Chains A and B, each alone.
Chain A
Amino acid sequence: MRNSVIRISVFCAMSVLLASGAISAWAASTEADYKAAYSAAETANNEAGKLRNQWTTTVSALKDAKKAAEGGDFDKAVALSKHAEALAKASIFQSTEQKDAWKAMEIK
Chain B
Amino acid sequence: MRATIRLAATGVTLAMLLLGAARASHAADSLNPPADAKAFQKFFTDKFPKVKLEDFVNGPYSMDEGLYKQWKEKEEFPPYEFALDAGRDLFAKPFKNGKSFADCFPNKGIGIRQNYPYFDEKRGKVITLEVAINECLESNGEKPFSYTKDDMASVTAYMAFTSRGKPFDIKIPNDPRALAAYENGKKYFYTRRGQLNFSCATCHVQSPGDHIRAEVLAPALGILNAMPIYRSEWGGMGTISRRFTSCNSQVRAVPLKPQDDEYRDLEYYLSYVSNGLPISGPGARP
Contacts and interface: CB of A to CB of B under 8 A. Distances in A.
Interface of A: 52-57, 59, 87, 90-91, 94-95, 98, 101-103, 105-108
Nearest to B186: A106
12 contacts: A52-B262, A55-B194, A55-B253, A56-B194, A56-B249, A91-B195, A94-B192, A101-B192, A103-B30, A103-B190, A107-B36, A107-B205
Contacts of B192: 94, 98, 101-102
B254 interface: yes
A4 B167 CA distance: 94
Given A102-B191, A102-B199, A108 B39 contact: yes
B23 interface: no
Query: What are the 6 closest A-B residue pairs judged by CB atoms, nearest first?
Result: A54-B254, A102-B190, A105-B190, A102-B191, A107-B43, A56-B252
A56 B195 contact: yes
Contacts of B195: 55-57, 87, 90-91
B256 interface: yes
Given A56-B254, A107-B40, 19 more contacts: A53-B193, A53-B253, A54-B253, A54-B254, A55-B252, A55-B253, A56-B194, A56-B249, A56-B252, A59-B254, A90-B195, A94-B192, A102-B190, A102-B192, A105-B205, A106-B186, A106-B190, A107-B39, A107-B43
Q: Specify the main secondary structure of chain A where it touches its partner.
A: helix
B133 interface: no
Contacts of A54: 253-254
B242 to A, nearest CB: 17
A54 B36 CA distance: 29
Given A55-B252, A55-B254, A105-B205, A94 B197 contact: yes
Nearest to B35: A108
A91 B196 CA distance: 10
B137 interface: no
A85 to B, nearest CB: 14
Nearest to B26: A103
Given A54-B254, A107-B205, A98 B191 contact: yes
A57 B256 CA distance: 15
Contacts of B39: 107-108
Contacts of B191: 98, 102
A103 B256 CA distance: 22
Contacts of B254: 54-56, 59
B222 to A, nearest CB: 14
A57 B194 CA distance: 9
Contacts of A103: 30, 190
A57 B43 CA distance: 34
Contacts of A102: 187, 190-192, 199
B201 interface: yes
Contacts of B40: 107
A102 B256 CA distance: 19
Interface string B139-183: 000000000000000000000000000000000000000000000
B265 to A, nearest CB: 12
Nearest to B249: A56
Nearest to B202: A105
Nearest to B248: A56
B271 to A, nearest CB: 16
Given A105-B201, A107-B40, A98 B193 contact: yes
A56 to B, nearest CB: 5
A101 B40 CA distance: 19
B114 to A, nearest CB: 23
A45 to B, nearest CB: 9
Contacts of A94: 192-193, 197
